[in-house]
Amino acid sequence: MLSIALGFFLGLFIIVSLPSTTPYSVVNEGSSGLSTLYVSLNAKLLYSLNKLSDFDGENTLLISARIKPVGEFEQLINFTKNGGTIVTYGSMEHVVDFLRELGIHTNFKGYVRDAVFNVGSLNTVVVNATHIEVVFENPYTLDGDFSDVNIVAWSSLFSHVDVNGNNFYDLDEPIGSFPLGVEIALGKGEIIVLFTERLLENSLLIHNLDFIKTLARGKTVVVDQSEIVLYPIEVLRAQLAVQRDPVNAYVVISLIALLSVVAYFVIRK
């Protein structure tokens, strides 16, 4: 029994020590992670949207990058009405569902590529945002009625919609400037929805840090990690990373293992 317990905790120690590859995770130091954002803005982490009410809306910026649609949407609405600011982006499924919850019905039109205004590849697009340029990776545009909201991001006149997904421009594909983000005023706050899969990840933050710092000026930055709750190992990594000291993180794991062994012998007696 003891050997099984020791084997379990040794395996846990090894797994937790491995680099994270979970998209939008603050402990993922790869291109798809938010580790640099987390450290640069001294952000707080939110593991459940039900806890959003613990923050003062008027002094809080929530960053929510997601793959799956939001479940606790009412919490986001209340937060915004109380003066909160939300920046959200991610998968097309998430963004379309998010807009639908706000009463804006849209359909996926296609990924936007730009042969002129890009950073190294057609899918890493330089985007015109209000008063600033930002870089989107894998942006997409949507068909819908945006007459009642503010369009705050759009592609250049040289961009096109890659309808057939071949990553090149074909003569029958739309070309021109396309909406890539909207701002919705709600109560005393606002929600900024951006149509891109990547924006603030480690691979892009060098281009977009000024953009998010402008929005966060004087506010507490909170990073939504409610989606990673589906991955227990990732949650453990994140909890340990909060200490911002890798030595202490491993000490914590070691203490858990040691206490478990002690508990085992106590129970046996």
Domain that holds residue 7: 1-21+231-269
Please tell me whether residues 40 and 173 are part of one structural domain.
Answer: yes
Confidence band, pLDDT 50/70/90 cuts, at residue 238: confident
CA distances from 44 to 17, 58, 156, 220, 269 (A): 22, 16, 35, 8, 43
| C-beta atoms surrounding 77 within 10 Å | 18
Residue tagged 């506010």 (tokens): 219
Please tell me whether residues 29 and 159 are part of one structural domain.
Answer: yes
Per-residue pLDDT for 248 more than 50?
Answer: no
Please tell me whether residues 102 and 114 are part of one structural domain.
Answer: yes
**Per-residue DSSP letters for 35-83?**
HHHHHHTT-EEES-GGGGGGS-GGGEEEEEEESSPPS-HHHHHHHHHTT
Q: CA-to-CA distance for 119 and 130, rounded, in angstroms?
A: 19
Mean pLDDT for 179-201 is 97
Q: Report how far Cα 218 is from the mean position of its chain's Cα atoms.
A: 21
Please tell me whether residues 192 and 245 are part of one structural domain.
Answer: no
Confidence band, pLDDT 50/70/90 cuts, at residue 87: very high
Total domains, the chain: 2
Please tell me whether residues 114 and 235 are part of one structural domain.
Answer: no
Please tell me whether residues 149 and 218 are part of one structural domain.
Answer: yes
- Per-residue pLDDT reduced to its tens digit, 91-111: 999 999 999 999 999 999 999
Q: Report how far Cα 52 is from the mean position of its chain's Cα atoms.
A: 16
Please tell me whether residues 203 and 266 are part of one structural domain.
Answer: no
- Indicate the average pLDDT of the chain: 87
CATH (domain of 44): 3.40.50
Please tell me whether residues 101 and 226 are part of one structural domain.
Answer: yes
Please tell me whether residues 105 and 74 are part of one structural domain.
Answer: yes
At 241 the pLDDT is 62
- Let me know: does 205 contact 36? Beta carbons within 8 Å: yes
At 10 the pLDDT is 52
Residue 261's SS3 state is: helix
Please tell me whether residues 94 and 223 are part of one structural domain.
Answer: yes
Please tell me whether residues 2 and 17 are part of one structural domain.
Answer: yes
- Say which DSSP state 244 is in: S
Dihedral pair phi/psi, residue 91, rounded to 5°: -65, 155
Pairing between strand 124-129 and 150-154? antiparallel
Please tell me whether residues 89 and 126 are part of one structural domain.
Answer: yes
